[in-house]
Amino acid sequence: MNKYEYTTEGADYPEEAVAFNSTWSLEFKQFIAEDAGKDFYNGGSNSDDFPIKLTIYGNGKNIGTFEVSFEPVFCSVAVGE
């Protein structure tokens, strides 16, 4: 299992890194970054904090910096027509 962490822009690694969970393997970097964004949001930020640049680390190695956006999705289902 891989260990994932992220830092926000200007934060020091590893001192200010935040650990998070992702089920994606290392070759799916974009999806790992999206999981980091979800963790950042669930950690108390709000949609006004996005887009945000996050540097992602997999097993202690920098795997890239990503700009992560927050886009709510709305769904509807017809009821009793």
pLDDT in tens, 39-71: 999 988 888 888 999 999 999 999 999 999 988
Asked, for residue 76, whether it belongs to a domain, the answer is no
Mean pLDDT of 1-28: 96
Per the structure, the complete domain to which residue 42 belongs is given by: 4-68
Asked, for residue 75, whether it belongs to a domain, the answer is no
Asked, for residue 63, whether it belongs to a domain, the answer is yes
User: Shortest CA distance to 65 belongs to which of 41, 32, 42?
Assistant: 32
- 8 Å CB contact between 3 and 59: yes
Prediction pTM value: 0.85
Asked, for residue 34, whether it belongs to a domain, the answer is yes
Mean pLDDT of 7-22: 97
Asked, for residue 73, whether it belongs to a domain, the answer is no
User: What is the pLDDT of the chain when averaged over all its residues?
Assistant: 93
Cα 54 from Cα 36, distance rounded (Å): 8
Name the domain count of the chain: 1
> What is the tally of helices (H) and strands (E) in the chain?
1, 4
Q: Which residue has the higher pLDDT, 1 or 8?
A: 8
pLDDT for position 22: 97
Asked, for residue 29, whether it belongs to a domain, the answer is yes
